[in-house]
Amino acid sequence: MILHISPGNNNYDILIERGCLKKASSSLHLQRKVLIVTDSGVPAHYVKMLADACKQPVICTIGQGEVNKNLQNYQYLLSTMLACRFTRKDCVAAVGGGVCGDLAGFAAAGYMRGIDFYNIPTTLLSQVDSSIGGKTAVNLDGIKNAVGAFYHPRKVLIDADVLKTLPQRHLSAGLAEALKMAITFDEDFFRLFEENQVFSDLESVIRRSLLIKKEVVEQDETEQGLRRVLNFGHTIGHGIESQVSDGSLYHGECVAIGMLPMCSPQIMKRLLPIYDKLNLPSSCRMDLDAVCSSMLHDKKSEDGKITIVETDRIGSYRMRTADPAELREKAAMVIR
């Protein structure tokens, strides 16, 4: 299946097809220098599949985890391209999860004021959410995605075959982001989670999530309004994530915890059994003050107020601003 997306003045295809990584040369222009950005957790044979299809591949492998989405690695990618004499006609391709995609996309945006970027997400989380929509960034001084750009890939290849090697915990963390879309936009999709069919039909989870994301991003490319709904669960989620520098909680797990206080008690009652089935955490042990301070320093905070997304009916959402005291109260519901 090809999903065509046109956010703002951009246009690109998302190819959702089992085996498309193996056949990358039929959909990507690889007869040039290609900086392949990957991380140490990605199985080497996925990287080799792409490298073998490139005329002049240059592989950069970064460490695994959010801490590696930093300016040092950004510079490493740019310096490598300069040293290898990449021109504006060459390109960058990410083979990995959200960290690789965000970092590689930002490097493509910055190098020579912008060169082609391809994204080949290999985690469920990046396949259902972060690989499309053009958000690229690195973290700075403990603030997630503090420096970045909206820069869209030329093409995204989504190959569900690569999920076969993904540990179960990563699958669950990815499902949390898909659940976010179902809760806020699509009750029928939500029922798929309740009826326990998600693991057996990941392709349908990917397709349904991306259809929702496409609609949102096409209407609000740069997050002036509607796109903020995709931050459902992320205000408290990012606050929690900022306190786990050891990576003991994955991004999707932090979002799962962060979604709960934004739901009515009735929805929470429907969500908790799903969390149990997916093995997602519903609370965590952490310093509440530190989480709150980080939430207020989040780049989404405006004059100390933060737009939150809440829901009291599956398939719908509302947005409003909340002050620090209210956010603290909500965070206290899931932080022990």
Q: Which residues bind ligand GLY (CB under 6 A)?
A: 129-130, 133, 135, 227, 230
Closest to 278 (Cα-Cα) out of 192, 214, 164: 192
Cβ 79 to ligand GLY shortest distance, Å: 28
Rounded least distance, CB 175 to ligand GLY, Å: 15
Question: Closer CB to ligand GLY, residue 135 or residue 214?
Answer: 135
49: its two tokens = 């599949």
Full DSSP string of 155-199: EEEE-GGGGGGS-HHHHHHHHHHHHHHHHHH-HHHHHHHHTT-TG
Least CB distance from residue 310 to ligand GLY, whole Å? 17
| Nearest of 129, 137, 123 to residue 168 by alpha carbon | 123
Contact by Cβ (8 Å): 281, 249? yes
**Nearest-angstrom CA–CA distance, 333 and 283:** 8
For ligand GLY, which is the closer residue by CB, 129 or 310? Answer: 129
> Rounded to an integer, what distance in angstroms lies between the CA atom of residue 223 and that of residue 18?
31
Type and span of the H or E element at 74? helix 71-83
Question: How would you list the strands of the sheet with 2-5, edge to edge?
Answer: 2-5, 12-16, 155-158, 116-121, 91-96, 33-39, 56-62
Question: Which residue, judged by CB position, is nearest to ligand GLY in the bound state?
Answer: 230
User: Which C-beta is closer to ligand GLY: that of 129 or that of 159?
Assistant: 129
Nearer to ligand GLY, 133 or 252 (CB): 133
Least distance from C-beta 54 to ligand GLY, angstroms? 28
Q: How far is the CB of 223 from ligand GLY (least distance, A)?
A: 6
Tokens in use for 40? 């140490």
Compute the least distance from the CB of residue 268 to ligand GLY, in Å: 22
- Least CB distance from residue 284 to ligand GLY, whole Å? 21
Q: Give yes or no for a contact between 154 and 148, defined as CB atoms under 8 angstroms apart.
A: no
Residue number, 162 or 230, with CB nearest to ligand GLY: 230
User: Which residue, 133 or 258, has its beta carbon nearer to ligand GLY?
Assistant: 133
> For residues 11 and 31, which CB has a smaller minimum distance to ligand GLY in the complex?
11
Cα–Cα distances (Å) from 108 to 120, 169, 311, in that order, read: 14, 30, 37
